Structure 1
Amino acid sequence: MKYREIEPNGFLNNFVKCFWFYETTTEIQHTILPDGYFDFIAEFENDNLTTVKLTGIWTKPKEIQISKNTKLLAIRFKLLAIEYIFKKEIKSILDATVNLSFSFWNIDKYKSDEFERFITEISNNLDTSIKHLKQIDNRKLKLFDFVYEQKIKTVAEISKKVFWSSRQINRYFQTQFGIRLKEFLNIVRCNATYEEISNGNLNPNAEYFDQAHFIKEIKKYTGVTPKELSQNKNDRFLQLSKMDEA
């Protein structure tokens, strides 16, 4: 398995977590863990484009089977992108995926080994698209910055900081993403532990009350204990495997 990721520069960083490339020469089964993002993925088998899809937000582990000789060109998006770049909601594909046309964003013009070209051209197109947007709600920019950077931990604190009521925030999350902000915060917090777990640190950080709470939350979103995650037999948990490859 080969994996690479490149983070964007400038204002695009508010919408895109990273561009990523994945390759396997053997058939492999992975478990995708909730991480607080959604992905745009172009899948190639034997260098032929076979699928273009958009994932929803994962709130539970997802088992996937990847065929041999598969390459993926992909973009990991922050939630703000669904409203301002895709101009739609994503709640209808919560814990699911939707197939897109091969011509979406002209993906069918790329070859499976053109990751750098993919990054450059899609970045330029997204930058141009963002420049033509109407004014972006500054409350939402601040909200997602607080969440992804884990600067603020609770819905009440975020509400005060962005001057947006908790009720309105949760209505926005339910309408756009199909989940409440509190659950999303829990998913982001869980995702932040994956690197420590991959390094063998099975003790909870300050974000969890105690060891029992840590194990319960990790198992809720991954289906297994922190110890099982850390072992990551046969590269089962893709996010942890990616950390080893990066």
Structure 2
Amino acid sequence: MNYQTFQPHTDLASLVKCYWSLEVPAETDAQKQRILPDGCIEMIFILGDDIKRYTSETKFIIQPRAVVVGQITEPFIIEPTGYVQCFAARFYPYGFANFITTPVKDLANKETPICQLFEERSAKELEQNIIRAENNAKRIEIVEAFLSNKLHEQATIDHIVKTTVDTLLSTKGNTSIHSILKEDLSKRRQLERNFFKQVGLSPKQLGKVIRLQTALKMLLNQKTENLTRIAYESAYYDQAHFIKDFKEFTGINPKKFLDDENMALSAIFYTGD
């Protein structure tokens, strides 16, 4: 696999976490891959062969060529049909809402064609320009021009939502809304309402996803099976709490994660992020 990430222009850096590209040679015995929640929304362009996304154990859809994948709260199961080539923009949890008028909660746990979120002609033009671009540098230039134009049409980031997300990220998900708002608890209901509108998850849900990310990266980077230490350093109450959350978001026990070939793509994303 060839997975690369690229930083956004400073004008978009508060909203776009990174751009990424992925290339995987065609394999005759390609395995299903389990893509895990990461708290981000992504705009993905499929440049290679088709990719299946399973909606049940046996049923699947062919993913559209240009989609936005909203917040996911359970694994996505995908399977390549041949050569994989993708280019994508990964947005901070509060980022993508600034470019669309559709509520981000409506994007959850599915892929939405970009032509349903933006004016159809400009969306199709964006898709074709990305497909025809000769390299990733040109693709970044194209998508940033598109996003910059859309951003000027939308409201600015809700400050209280951004502050909450930034705090959750900096504390690896281990912060309560009570401590973020401190004395101003009258804003809690407003925060939760605006947060869900702009992020697509509740603050508590996003905190759980971020904390799981921390544990996953430790598991991948250290190749350790000391689950008690990982649970402690990731701010879980105990090992049982860690295992419960891990299985909720991944569908498997953490001890099986490293050896599961269906997790290979998620492992690349997490170690490369």
- TM-score with structure 2 setting the length: 0.77
CA distance in 1, matches of 2:49, 2:196: 40
Residues 87-134 of structure 1 show CA distances to partners (whole Å, capped at 9, x for unaligned) of 331211211111223851622113365211111332344345546654
Q: CA shift at 1:136, angstroms? A: 3.7
Q: CA shift at 1:161, angstroms? A: 8.1
What is the one-letter code of the residue matched to 1:4? Q
Matched, 1:43 2:46: yes
Stretches of structure 1 lacking an aligned partner (at least 5 in a row): none
SS state at 2:164 partner: helix
* Among candidates 85, 94, 100, match of residue 108 of structure 2: 94
CA distance in 2, matches of 1:123, 1:45: 22
SS state at 2:102 partner: coil
CA distance in 2, matches of 1:113, 1:28: 29
* Among candidates 165, 179, 185, match of residue 157 of structure 1: 179
What is the one-letter code of the residue matched to 2:160? R
1:236 counterpart residue number:
263
Matched, 1:189 2:211: yes
Q: CA shift at 1:55, angstroms? A: 0.8
1:167 counterpart residue number:
189
Q: CA shift at 1:221, angstroms? A: 1.0
Q: Is the contact between residue 44 and residue 112 of structure 1 (CA under 8 Å) also seen in structure 2?
A: no
What is the one-letter code of the residue matched to 1:238? L
What is the one-letter code of the residue matched to 1:183? Q
Bigger shift: 236-245 or 61-70? 236-245
Q: CA shift at 1:166, angstroms? A: 2.0
Residues 203-235 of structure 1 show CA distances to partners (whole Å, capped at 9, x for unaligned) of 32141111111111111111112112222x335
Residues 32-66 of structure 1 show CA distances to partners (whole Å, capped at 9, x for unaligned) of 1011001101112359x961111110111111112
Matched, 1:70 2:84: yes
Q: CA shift at 1:19, angstroms? A: 0.3
Stretches of structure 2 lacking an aligned partner (at least 5 in a row): 51-62
Q: Is the contact between residue 229 and residue 237 of structure 1 (CA under 8 Å) also seen in structure 2?
A: no
**Structure-to-structure mapping, 1:129-144, within 5 angstroms:** 129-130=150-151, 134-144=155-165
CA distance in 1, matches of 2:84, 2:183: 45
**Structure-to-structure mapping, 1:54-69, within 5 angstroms:** 54-69=68-83
2:34 counterpart residue number:
31
Give the superposed CA RMSD.
2.8
Q: Structure 2 vs 1, CA of residues 7 and 22 (structure 1 numbering), >3 Å: closer, same or farther?
A: same
Q: Structure 2 vs 1, CA of residues 76 and 225 (structure 1 numbering), >3 Å: closer, same or farther?
A: same
Q: CA shift at 1:241, angstroms? A: 2.3
Matched, 1:16 2:16: yes
Residues 7-43 of structure 1 show CA distances to partners (whole Å, capped at 9, x for unaligned) of 2243522211110101122244211101100110111
Residues 160-212 of structure 1 show CA distances to partners (whole Å, capped at 9, x for unaligned) of 38876222222223444553211111111111222111132343214111111
SS state at 1:157 partner: helix
CA distance in 1, matches of 2:219, 2:24: 24
Aligned positions, number: 244
CA distance in 2, matches of 1:134, 1:178: 17
Q: CA shift at 1:2, angstroms? A: 1.6
Residues 146-167 of structure 1 show CA distances to partners (whole Å, capped at 9, x for unaligned) of 1222376112112238876222
